[in-house]
Amino acid sequence: SAVISQKPSRDICQRGTSLTIQCQVDSQVTMMFWYRQQPGQSLTLIATANQGSEATYESGFVIDKFPISRPNLTFSTLTVSNMSPEDSSIYLCSVVGRASTDTQYFGPGTRLTVL
């Protein structure tokens, strides 16, 4: 299994500012993902964080708004830029275990409120 931590656990931010969320895994993993869960909704994939190269973004998400870094196999950051109230969500990182048949493990999430 993989143990994932996220920082911060929650934050309240002002419109127009940016917040960087950190995701740390206790072991090296191949795949890391960032999801968003808007209030009352299910999880939506933002992007796949690729180690040593640019992230792969899903339709509707762009690098200028959600820049992602992944400097090594255990760490990634997601920045929510130029925030608006519509960005208020829970942001979760997840990883796939060592085997492709393994489960996905999720971090505890970062609850973001934008005023």
Partner 1 sequence: KQEVTQIPAALSVPEGENLVLNCSFTDSAIYNLQWFRQDPGKGLTSLLLIQSSQREQTSGRLNASLDKSSGRSTLYIAASQPGDSATYLCAVSSSGYSTLTFGKGTMLLVSP
Among 48, 51, 79, 88, interactor with partner 1 by CB under 8 A = 48
CB of 115 to partner 1, least distance (A): 19
DSSP string, 10-60: EEEE-TT--EEEEEEESS--S-EEEEEE-TT--EEEEEEE-TTS--EEPTT
- Beta strands 110-114 and 10-13 are parallel
**Residue 27 touches partner 1, criterion: CB under 8 A:** no
Instruction: Please choose, out of 17-25, 36-44, 65-73, 79-87, the segment that lies near partner 1 by the rule CB under 8 A.
Output: 36-44
- What does the binding site for partner 1 look like in residue numbers (CB under 8 A)? 30-31, 33, 41-45, 48, 92, 94, 96, 99-109, 111
